[in-house]
Amino acid sequence: MAAQRKTLEASAWEILEQIPDPEIPVLSIVDLGIVRSVEVDGAKVTVGVAPTYSGCPATEVIEDSVVKSLQSGGIDRVSVRRVLSPPWTSDWISDRGREKLREYGIAPPEKGAARGKMLGDTIIAERIVACPRCGTENTRKISEFGSTACKASYKCNECLEPFEYFKCI
């Protein structure tokens, strides 16, 4: 029975790794760090999902994708539990996810910067953002808000390309 539970749990994680974030499809919801747990009870799988923030419009879409994807993958009994504590931070984005963001043209948040920002560390809160295309730190913020509330708009002063920065949340 324990082996069957482990197999079901591993299958669920494999499927979850393939579910793209609806706002940044280059990231899986696992890379984004919002999948907090996979619990198996007999044939039932419960997935704990943390919203990126309380007003995120993608939360319900993601939860629906979890249920549909797991069911399509042969796991019939699925539920999603919304995890609000501890709250998600951008520190939970995986290293692989940060690299995927950079390759996609979005400057990733620096690891550990969200904690400093929450604690009022102004040095971290105002950190220079490197261009994901050419790597220079000679950039400037155009707008605090990008295509989504979790990103800001920047422009590189070297290659002159605009880009988005995934904010430290």
pLDDT at residue number 123? 47
The helix/strand/coil state of 20 is strand
For the stretch 40-57, pLDDT in tens is 999 999 999 999 988 888
Strand order across the beta sheet in which 151-156 lies: 106-107, 162-166, 151-156, 139-143
**Cα distances (angstroms) measured from residue 97 to each of 17, 21, 41, 42, 92:** 11, 11, 29, 32, 10
Burial environment of residue 105 by CB neighbours within 10 A (0 to 12, 13 to 18, 19 or more): middle
- Tell me the pLDDT tens digit for each residue of 70-82: 999 999 999 999 9
- Domains belonging to the chain, first-starting first, are 2-82 (3.30.300.130), 94-166 (no CATH)
For residues 28 and 16, the answer to whether their CB atoms sit within 8 Å is: yes
| pLDDT of amino acid 75 | 96
Tokens of residue 62, six digits? 């993601």
pLDDT tens string, the chain, 169 residues long: the values are: 566 767 999 999 999 999 999 989 999 999 999 999 999 999 999 999 999 988 888 999 999 999 999 999 999 999 999 999 999 999 999 999 999 999 999 999 988 765 555 555 554 446 789 999 999 999 999 999 888 888 999 999 999 999 999 988 8
Q: What's the predicted TM-score (pTM) here? A: 0.84
Instruction: Please tell me the predicted confidence (pLDDT) of residue 94.
Output: 96
pLDDT at residue 150 in the model: 85
All residues at 6 or more sequence positions from 86 whose CB lies less than 8 Å from its CB, including other chains: none
